[in-house]
Amino acid sequence: MANLQWDIFCKVIDNFGDIGICWRLAAGLAARGERVRLWVDDGSALAWMAPGGQQGVLVLPWTETLDVSCLDTTSSDVLIEAFGCDAAPEFIAARARIGASLAPKDAPKPLWINLEYLSAESYVARNHGLTSLVSSGPAAGSHKVFFYPGFTPGTGGLLREPDLLQRQAAFDRAAWLKQHGIEWRGETLVSLFCYEPPALIQLLDDLTHNGIQAQPVRLLVAAGRATQAVKSLLALKKADDNDQIGLKATNYLHEKLSISYLPLLTQIDFDHLLWASDINFVRGEDSIVRAIWAGKPFIWQIYPQDDGAHGPKLEAFLDLLAAPAGLRAFHRVWNGLSDQKLPPLTHASGWQQTAAKNRAWLAAQPDLTSRLLEYATKNR
């Protein structure tokens, strides 16, 4: 089958997770020879996420009045609306008009895919691949397909580049840390990418006084909300204790804990951060998938929702992992779903087997990009 033209619409809602996932998908499709137009209402984060771009991906602004002149010369074979956003009406109208006027009657029909959020809950497998009739507008009579990323063979899979595990196997941790100015002295490395978990102060106190299994720890704090949260807590501690804790780029707070604040990282370097660390704290959907592929013990801060839907979503994920009791307890406290004290990371080394086992069986499944390509081949 000839390479297809994919149009991905992405609306940046919060924290750049949406654009991060959409960029990985667009770049993955283009790396396999597909042509991609990525329509995004705020593409500013791509300047640091993917400064080199990707051959085959054209990033276009999703403005209030959309310029759809590109459809006059290049058709749209597959339209993806990411995470419940509705593609621009002008695009839908132009796609329907041009398709009806130019395509022969026996030509393959263009696809319309709604790419959903990631979850381990049981409804994902039930709803994956279902269609919905478009009953009105210029595209009336078309069908949208609901495509659910997921963790089981009956879902859409997870984003993964074909060479990801090979690149990790060749990764040089010491060289990467040195390149980024991190003075590693053999401490246990813990990455921190979070929102503002209430238990963060407990984690900082525990690491400061105890380390992990009495060994020193270096906390590698991601730029943005994680850095702001840590610095705010340390500023409060300084005011309360009248101590000499500073807020330089790297500081020794205690003989058991040191902190390095990181700059904004490209997507490639974010992977490197997870590979370099012994334990990873991650948040949202894009980073949890990258933590799974890193194969290291991880703690996930799920995006909190006002209706509490994140609670069952987290439990379903922990069930999928067959997470041991200590890992479950830590997740619940970290996500504000338990009022117990945050357990120490003493047993984190024992979570390595869980991480390795789950990476292995998930890596044996086809990835999301491959499944989308297979679906397009079979259903156009």
Q: Do domains 5-158+366-379 and 164-363 have the same CATH topology?
A: yes
The whole-number pLDDT of residue 91 equals 94
Supply angle C-alpha 205, 15, 42, rounded to 5.
155
End-to-end CA distance of the chain: 10
3-state helix, strand, coil in the chain (%, to 5): 40, 15, 40
Alpha-carbon dihedral of residues 224, 225, 230, 232, nearest 10 degrees? 100
Over 50: is that where the pLDDT of 249 sits?
no
Q: What is the mean pLDDT of residues 4-24?
A: 92
Known catalytic residue: 285?
A: yes
The pLDDT tens digits of the residues spanning 40-85 come to 999 999 999 999 999 999 999 999 889 998 887 888 999 999 998 9
What residue segments make up the domains of the chain, in order of their start?
Answer: 5-158+366-379, 164-363
Task: Tally DSSP H helices, then E strands, for the chain.
Answer: 14, 13
Distance CA 151, CA 267 (A): 22
CATH topology of domain 164-363: Rossmann fold (3.40.50)
Distance CA 72, CA 68 (A): 8
Mean pLDDT for all residues in the chain: 91
Known catalytic residue: 18?
A: yes
Distance CA 228, CA 54 (A): 31
38 Cβ contact partners less than 8 Å away, ≥ 6 residues apart: 8, 10, 22, 23, 26, 57, 58, 59, 60
The pLDDT tens digits of the residues spanning 284-303 come to 899 999 999 999 999 999 98
DSSP of 357-380: HHHHHHHTSPPHHHHHHHHHHHH-
Residue with tokens 């779903």: 337
Helix (H) or strand (E) holding 91: helix 89-102
CB atoms within 10 A of CB 176: 16
* Dihedral over Cα of 26, 290, 285, 366: its sign: positive
Amino acid (1-letter code) at residue 64:
E
Distance CA 201, CA 333 (A): 12
Distance CA 70, CA 21 (A): 24
The whole-number pLDDT of residue 248 equals 41
Q: Residues 34, 206, 278, 285: which is the catalytic one? A: 285
pTM: 0.93
The pLDDT tens digits of the residues spanning 94-133 come to 988 876 565 555 566 789 999 999 999 999 999 999 999 9
In terms of Cβ atoms closer than 10 Å to its own Cβ (0-12, 13-18, 19+), residue 304 is middle
Distance CA 181, CA 277 (A): 15
Q: Residues 18, 34, 269, 278: which is the catalytic one? A: 18
Q: Does domain 5-158+366-379 correspond to CATH entry 1.10.10?
A: no
Q: What is the mean pLDDT of residues 249-254?
A: 50
Helix (H) or strand (E) holding 10: strand 5-10
